[in-house]
Structure 1
Amino acid sequence: MEQYKDIAPRLIGLREGIGWTPGEMADLLGVSEETVTGYESGAMEIPVGYMLDVSRLCRVDLTTLISGREPHLKSYSLVRKEEGFSVDRRADYDYKSLGYKFAGRQMEPFLICVPPKGGDDMVETAHRGQEFIYVLEGRLEIRMAGEPLIVEAGDSLYFNSETPHALRGLDGKEVKFLDVIL
């Protein structure tokens, strides 16, 4: 789980820098203390929704939390094809942040590639905010609170991110989509 080891110390540093205990942080985020300490240990997958909640609560840019580097552009940010910042937070998805250069973002745009997998291998996640998905290539199954939805190239879905959701590519192929988290 190497990809979490770089983010975990930044989570601890933010929490301790503000002066919160793991229990206080858990209460503020609406999660268990075990969840906070698990993510801070670097041994558990850290969902992007959790990192987004921490960055908002601690008033730190998500790019800084993930990469340790500060974004610096305030008027606009142009990210060329294949230049997105890789977010190595899940072993099974390929995340590229498309807004990582812009300071003070109100949304988090990602280009995500999800591989095909069996229905039993889908892992639900939920986090605060809202989410918008626009499929570019392939067919995506999104389970929303256990209900399967099939989203194809050109289709979009806007939803409350607190609704448990899980994703997988269909037809034995990877699916590529834009995902904007608010």
Structure 2
Amino acid sequence: MKDPKDKKLELGRYIGMKVKKARRNGGLKLVDVARISGISQGMVSKIENAQVSTSLETLDRLCSAIGLSISQLFSDYDRPDGDAHFTKSNQGLEVVQRGTEKGQIYQLLSYKHATIEPFIITLTDTSETTTTFSHSGDEFIYLISGKLVYRHGNSLFEMEPGDSLTFNGEIPHGPESLVETPIKLLSVISAQEDS
């Protein structure tokens, strides 16, 4: 657990950094800010270097002098770090799925969030077709290249690049025929969470 004193130091450094950046971006010198704000040049310097805590009133005067609103001052403070998962092109983890035995190549694009499984699926002229895939949750597919006929239950969809399809994964589905290969499609499966 962080010491509350550390948080104050972080806040002071953050304020100092934002104030200094805004002052420099505005082409202002310390002496200019001191004159406009009525705050001593030494105090402005101490605020910028996180050597002193300041009142909100002083901070408001300082921000007005450098053309920075209080809301802009704190716009990035305490922003969460985030937990995004980045995958470079063609660097997805190759995984074994039911279609693998049919010559279909599956690259898992992210494994960070368990509620979705995004894949790039590649089909070539040697890949076999099968329409018996089924799984829990919904699936979204987006055709990147090639052409195919995709079956979902009793419905057939002639898909060209840019076409997409969203469906219930429990109903049997899959490529009915490969019209123009190679085929690349993005498949995103939303896994059902146990309640």
Secondary structure in structure 1 of the residue aligned to 2:84: coil
2:94 aligned residue (86, 97, 104) = 86
Trace 1:15-34 onto structure 2 (pairs within 5 A). none
Aligned to 1:110: 119
Q: CA deviation at 1:118?
A: 9.4
Contact 2:149 2:179 in 1 (8 A): no
**Normalising to structure 1: TM-score of the pair?**
0.52
Contact 2:131 2:151 in 1 (8 A): no
Aligned to 1:57: none
| Aligned CA distance change for structure 1 residues 118 and 94 (closer, same or farther; 3 Å) | closer
Aligned to 1:178: 186
Q: Give unpaired runs (5+ residues) of structure 1.
A: 1-73
Aligned to 2:68: none
1:137 aligned residue (125, 139, 145) = 145
Contact 1:117 1:168 in 2 (8 A): no
| Number of equivalences | 106
Aligned to 1:146: 154
Q: Which whole-Å CA distance do the structure 1 matches of 2:89 and 2:134 have between them?
A: 29
Q: Percent identical across equivalent pairs?
A: 31
| Aligned CA distance change for structure 1 residues 169 and 81 (closer, same or farther; 3 Å) | farther
Q: CA deviation at 1:171?
A: 3.0
Matched, 1:156 2:167: no
- Cα RMSD (Å) of the superposition? 2.3
Contact 1:126 1:165 in 2 (8 A): yes
Q: CA deviation at 1:181?
A: 0.0
**Normalising to structure 2: TM-score of the pair?**
0.49
Matched, 1:96 2:107: yes
| Aligned CA distance change for structure 1 residues 98 and 169 (closer, same or farther; 3 Å) | farther
Structure with max Cα Rg: 2
